[in-house]
Copies of this chain bind each other. A is one copy, B any other.
Amino acid sequence: MNKAPTLWWDATTESLHYIDQTVLPGRYTVTECHTIGHLAAAIRRLEIRGAPALGVAGAYGIALATRVSWKNELNEFFSEVWKDAEILRTTRPTAVNLGWGIDRVLAKIAPLKDIPSVRRVALEEADAIFREDTANCHAIGNHGAELLPDTCTVLTHCNAGALACSSWGTALGVIRSAVSGGKRVKVMACETRPLLQGARLTAWELARDGIEVTVITDSTAAHLMRTGTIDAVIVGADRITHDAVFNKIGTYMHAVCARYHNIPFYVAAPLSTFDTSHEGKEVIIEERGREEVTTMGNRVFVPDAAHVKNYAFDATPMDLVTAIITERGVILPPVSTGSILSLKNTQ
């Protein structure tokens, strides 16, 4: 069975290849991306999604930008690359990793003096981010696996899996590592309306790995908590400030219900997801188009005269979070700049 990463640089064609996540599980399609316009549209349409994968995509996006510019003069060349960076950066306002991946490559190339070196270094740095992302996911998995009982049922929301990263996953990385280590873990995957990343992506990648997965509607989670089916909740994150975790809409509801039922609520995310320069209330929650809610397949389910609100994310205040699982270890809330810096400095 094909176990390609979620996205990768193809050296032969000098382009970014990615699994189109909008057509899974019905179709498995790898798309070649040769332009910044294509990449920006792919991110906006969620063909590539998931916070860590967006970091990798942003980094490779800059590598791509250094290849598509026709300018020969370095300042003009840089001006085009930086313009392309802003096009990519503004595709999604909530996830912080996208800008993090972009900025890390820009910082590496900014001091360079010739275009061939810029092209080489941009790709090297993007490749490094890709490799680190996979390593981070395995480290998150190992740290998180220790938190799970030997036999348990874990609830997850949306897709914080291999498809949200380069491979392995954050929340699903914890589950994969626990299973690899011999624990018996069953997964309840919330379908995650409106775009069904849980039903389409989480169920697909776990079933492919032979991990028992059951899809439920999002509102079934609380019922299963009440009846004692759920031992832990693990989700990913798109941005973590010191006071809140921003993640797929519905995460907050699960956190409130987990607290009510005394079930641990874990967030699994690399340190690149942390944003210590903003308060939670300053973060923009992306609102997306009504058609994502009103239309499915070939049918329209909402009358035209009704309004629709389609928030893509919500904020979970830190006091509802049991622990945050990072590649450098587990953070117990409250999160502070100090607690993150001290983790960053550990080996």
Contact = CB atoms under 8 A, between A and B. Distances in A.
Contacts of A221: 253
A338 interface: no
A170 B166 CA distance: 50
Nearest to A300: B26
A305 to B, nearest CB: 4
Contacts of A259: 260
Contacts of A190: 219
A218 B194 CA distance: 9
A219 B220 contact: no
Nearest to A200: B301
Interface in A206-221: 206-208, 212-221
B308 A214 contact: yes
A222 to B, nearest CB: 4
28 contacts: A25-B302, A189-B306, A193-B193, A193-B217, A194-B217, A196-B301, A199-B293, A199-B294, A199-B301, A200-B301, A207-B305, A214-B307, A214-B308, A215-B293, A215-B294, A216-B293, A216-B310, A217-B249, A217-B250, A218-B218, A220-B314, A222-B314, A223-B314, A253-B257, A256-B260, A257-B257, A259-B260, A296-B297
Nearest to A248: B219
Nearest to A305: B207
A200 to B, nearest CB: 5
B250 A203 contact: no
A217 B213 CA distance: 23
A303 B207 contact: yes
Interface residues of A, number: 57
Contacts of A249: 217, 219-220, 223
A3 interface: no
B307 A250 contact: no
A280 B294 CA distance: 35
A226 interface: yes
A190 B220 CA distance: 14
Question: Which of A206, A250, A298, A310 counts the most chain B CB atoms within 10 A?
Answer: A250
A245 to B, nearest CB: 13
A214 B306 contact: yes
Interface of A: 25-26, 189-194, 196, 199-200, 203-204, 206-208, 212-224, 226, 249-250, 252-253, 256-257, 259-260, 293-294, 296-303, 305-311, 314-315
Contact of A213 (B194, B203, B260, B307): B307
A309 B193 contact: no
Given A214-B309, A293-B191, A308-B215, A302 B220 contact: no
Given A217-B249, A219-B249, A311-B220, A203 B298 contact: no
A250 B221 CA distance: 8
A204 B300 CA distance: 12
A245 B257 CA distance: 18
A302 B199 contact: yes
B297 A219 contact: no
Question: Which of A190, A192, A215, A260 counts the most chain B CB atoms within 10 A?
Answer: A215
A297 B297 contact: yes
Given A216-B308, A217-B293, A293-B217, A222 B303 contact: no
